[in-house]
Structure 1
Amino acid sequence: MHPVVATKPATRMILALVCVSQFMVILDASIVNVALPSIQRELGFSATSLAWVVNGYLLTFAGLMLLGGRAADLFGHRRMLVSGLFVFSVASLVAGLATEPAVLVAARVAQGVGAAMLAPATLAVINTSFVQSRERARAFGAWSASGGLGGMAGAVVGGALTTGLSWRWVFLLNVPIGAGLVVLALLSLARPRPGRRASLDLTGAVTATAGLGAVIYGVMRSADHGWTKLPVAGPVVVGLLLLLAFVVVEARFATEPMMPLRLFGIRRVAVGTAMLLLFGGIAIAMWYFTSLFLQNVLNYSALRAGLGQTPAAVMFVVVARIAAALLSRTGVRPLMVVGCGGFVAGFGWLSQAAAGSGYVTSVLGPTLLIAAGIGLTFPTLMATVTSDVPEGDAGIIGGLSTTASQVGGSVGLAALTTVAGGRIGTRSSAEALAAGYDLVFVVAAALGLALAVVSTLLPKPDRG
């Protein structure tokens, strides 16, 4: 598929399109958490089935992104973005009107499908619409900031909608936004020039999607079962075997592979993908476990905890835009080194927080440092991994990078939960919980140091 370069008048519309789309996709992963108790009471979910209101979305979102990325290359970024918005919006409407648990879970699964079509397409649109490296870096900065803002706004927006209106509005909110984005996409994105239509590698698509889905499913269940128990180890082992089969199929049998392995011969793609896996664990340690510390140790409500993390979200948004402007001048490594320094210093400081700590000195200060680190590293990584990709591979590279970040977050959440649980044991006091979370923050600081070391392998981007 030949790239379609946007004209100057359309670039602002395109940037607004991809940023709001990314905001909506990431917002939907977190906004529902505050509404879960209300959903359970009204629809009669059991304690175990309620988790699938969250997991149904995350599982299909992460599991299908590689397929969504390749589909964007084969069938057109414009078509996949519009189709993803349509599926996501219709599924949101069904979720908001659901009267049975099964209907809501099915709608959440369908939302994940739409998000998996949409997210890689937004990256491909950036890569093909913003030609100069400086413009592309700024677009990635805005895109990254939008996603981070969506993740952080979830608790606040979800709490406000659930309290002021109804839990149904955490889903219905997507419908008018999605409809507006469909119109914006049709107006701002030009139709692609016709090119050679390749066929979808069906065997690769099935093995990759099933393998990723099985691994993520097993990891999700690790919070309720030990890592060696069959409900966790079984899906993980099956998933890894399917992913191994996927690699064999792509290397030996596929005439037009879904994931051309030659892409891993591009150093920034191979190294950047590994770094995004590490980054996923760091981001989870920041947003998820800091929220737990505020709620379980300092006794904040969910809404107050969300507000307590708002300064860090603002810091992330501001620094991400600054990093995008600096990337073409400084190159990758200085931004990564300074950002990783923020991780090490911030998490080291945060690991000293205790049950009697104050918010300003023990949480606000370190989270601002960590958020600045995220703002420096994430858009830099995304711009580096996806820049100047071979023609026809922008979608699959976008799918690969977003999948790496999502899988890193899922595995990181499971692993860090195990770390915290091992320290906490059977105790439930604020002091015991603080000790468990502090150990998580120490591990996150080590991940930041590892990220800095691996970043030395990244090449410098072309300046332009």
Structure 2
Amino acid sequence: MLVPLALAQFICSFAGSNMNVMINDLSVDLNTTVQGVQLAITAFLLVMAALMIPGGKLTDRWGRKRCFVLGLTIYGLGALMSAVAPGLGILILGYSILEGVGTALLIPPVYILTTMLFTDLPSRARAFGVITGMAGIGGAAGPLIGGLITTGISWRAAFVFQALIVAIVVALGRRIVDPVEPDPTRPFDTLGAVLSAAGLVCLVMGILQAGSNTVLMAGLLAIGALFLVWFVLHVRARERAGKEPLLSISLFRNRTSNLALVTQNVQWLLLMGIAFVVSAFLQVVRGYNAIQTGVIFTSATAGILVSSLAAERLARKRAQRTLILAGFLIMIAGIGVLIALLNTSRSAWAFAPGLLLIGLGLGTMLTPSVNVVQSAFPEDQQGEISGLSRCVSNLGSSLGTAIAGTILVVGLHNPYQGYVLAMIVLAALGLIGLMAAMALPRATTRKGHAVS
């Protein structure tokens, strides 16, 4: 039962990063620009983030397996639509919207089913290790696989590949049994879903306007903040009235979980931000093709594989707080290496040592971060916390692409300065994750219990 769940997580992470190596091909074939491709990638990640909490909530009402299969179906249709897209608009509809909605429906069940099907802590830790490892590998290997397919066949074939993997997951997932019956009478907070989604969308779209339209950027950020404030007030009002909100405020009363959520957000922000900046720099500035760019990311994939395979052994010897701290230190060191080696060689392999460190750091802390969050709550709150956890992670991914990508794109008149500035900003954001990890209680156990 773990195989289809892990494969589903892999293909969703793959979809978020494989587009990075198609920037030149998409720009030419669809008559668009680097900013257009960045918009499509960011919109995909943002749709996931905005709808992940509602998606997690719907699992209680519709059933975990039903949401899983429905999400896969919508995702597959989006992939096929993207494969035949004649222009950027249809690509955004298929890739950014349909694949984003499908992912928001299928990912919460992956983590909820894992928590429910693997009841003892050691097996649950191993299961989360496999799934989060596949998430990291999908994100890091996306450029390589996407580059091979794009160069060997076409960027359109990369979307056909996604549809084929989805079909395999559907076939393998037939044996999954939902451990809890769905409750169709469970209320759904529609207004809360609209407010939270609108707030997140406005915030990220505002960031994308940086450097091009300051007034629009400020307006979108202000509107996004107002929507989120309205959402919090709405949730409190529903709880006072005895009604079930989209997201319970009680989830944020667990200090350990809050800190671990910050680490989740920042680790995905770093991965996706670095992936976009390096990919865009190699293709637009250095003139590398899709496969040449993708091959460089094998070092990050190797790093994630090595650290993920060692995750269980590390978890037995080291506290989860220690592993998360180590992960951030290694990732920040990797960013430093990416900056230091920029001008040492024209070869793209100069990026390999830094990307290797990025992969090692990410793989070291992926599983501990997820396990601390999920294990901090009982089973009756797994739907909520799973949706929140995935929302926070995908919001980090969209912010990484939006922030670092915008800095790079704005600085393309002096690409080397733009590259260095984007990396410095990512390193500074990595320090936020490091500080959150340092604030985690030392009493966090090695097997997954989080102390509130």
Matched, 1:253 2:241: no
- For 2:167 and 2:181, how far apart are their aligned partners in 1? 25
Q: Which consecutive residues of structure 2, in runs of 5 or more, have no partner in the other structure?
A: none
Cα pair 2:16 2:44 within 8 Å, conserved: yes
Equivalent in the alignment of 1:3: none
Identity %: 27
Paired residues for 1:267-416 under 5 Å: 267-292=255-280, 294-295=282-283, 300-357=288-345, 363-387=351-375, 389-416=377-404
For residue 185 of structure 1, report the CA deviation from its aligned partner.
Answer: 1.8
Task: Name which of 242, 249, 252 aligns with 2:227.
Answer: 242
For residue 415 of structure 1, report the CA deviation from its aligned partner.
Answer: 3.9
Map Cα deviations across residues 155-187 of structure 1 (whole Å, 9 max, x no partner): 222222223223321212222221221222222
Cα pair 2:49 2:393 within 8 Å, conserved: no
Cα pair 1:22 1:143 within 8 Å, conserved: yes
- For 1:366 and 1:237, how far apart are their aligned partners in 2? 37
- For 2:154 and 2:337, how far apart are their aligned partners in 1? 39
Task: Name which of 71, 85, 95 aligns with 2:72.
Answer: 85
Change (3 A) 1:358 1:454: farther
Cα pair 1:212 1:239 within 8 Å, conserved: yes
For residue 111 of structure 1, report the CA deviation from its aligned partner.
Answer: 1.3
Change (3 A) 1:317 1:102: same
Task: Name which of 133, 158, 165 aligns with 1:170.
Answer: 158
Equivalent in the alignment of 1:231: 216
Cα pair 1:279 1:451 within 8 Å, conserved: no
- For 1:315 and 1:49, how far apart are their aligned partners in 2? 31
Change (3 A) 1:347 1:300: same
- With normalisation by structure 1, the TM-score equals 0.85
Map Cα deviations across residues 329-354 of structure 1 (whole Å, 9 max, x no partner): 53312212322332343333443224
Tell me the C-alpha RMSD between the 2 structures.
3.1
For residue 384 of structure 1, report the CA deviation from its aligned partner.
Answer: 1.0
- For 2:382 and 2:312, how far apart are their aligned partners in 1? 20
- For 1:142 and 1:48, how far apart are their aligned partners in 2? 34
Equivalent in the alignment of 2:439: 454
Change (3 A) 1:274 1:439: closer
Task: Name which of 60, 64, 84 aligns with 2:51.
Answer: 64
For residue 400 of structure 1, report the CA deviation from its aligned partner.
Answer: 1.1
Equivalent in the alignment of 2:101: 113
Change (3 A) 1:415 1:148: same
Change (3 A) 1:242 1:77: same
Equivalent in the alignment of 2:136: 148
Cα pair 2:7 2:134 within 8 Å, conserved: yes
Map Cα deviations across residues 61-103 of structure 1 (whole Å, 9 max, x no partner): 2211111111113322111111100111122222223345543
Change (3 A) 1:37 1:344: closer
Cα pair 2:114 2:124 within 8 Å, conserved: yes
Q: Which consecutive residues of structure 1, in runs of 5 or more, have no partner in the other structure?
A: 1-13
Equivalent in the alignment of 2:62: 75
- For 1:421 and 1:49, how far apart are their aligned partners in 2? 11
- For 2:133 and 2:340, how far apart are their aligned partners in 1? 28
Counterpart of 1:80, as a letter, is C
Map Cα deviations across residues 189-219 of structure 1 (whole Å, 9 max, x no partner): 3463355841101221121122122222222
Cα pair 2:27 2:37 within 8 Å, conserved: yes
- For 2:370 and 2:10, how far apart are their aligned partners in 1? 16
Cα pair 2:187 2:244 within 8 Å, conserved: yes
- For 1:458 and 1:277, how far apart are their aligned partners in 2? 22
Cα pair 2:265 2:396 within 8 Å, conserved: yes
- For 2:289 and 2:323, how far apart are their aligned partners in 1? 35
Matched, 1:31 2:18: yes
Change (3 A) 1:416 1:214: same
- For 2:22 and 2:335, how far apart are their aligned partners in 1? 29
Change (3 A) 1:336 1:419: same
Paired residues for 1:122-201 under 5 Å: 122-190=110-178, 192-193=180-181, 197-201=185-189
- For 1:157 and 1:230, how far apart are their aligned partners in 2? 40
Deviates more, 1:245-254 or 1:295-304: 295-304
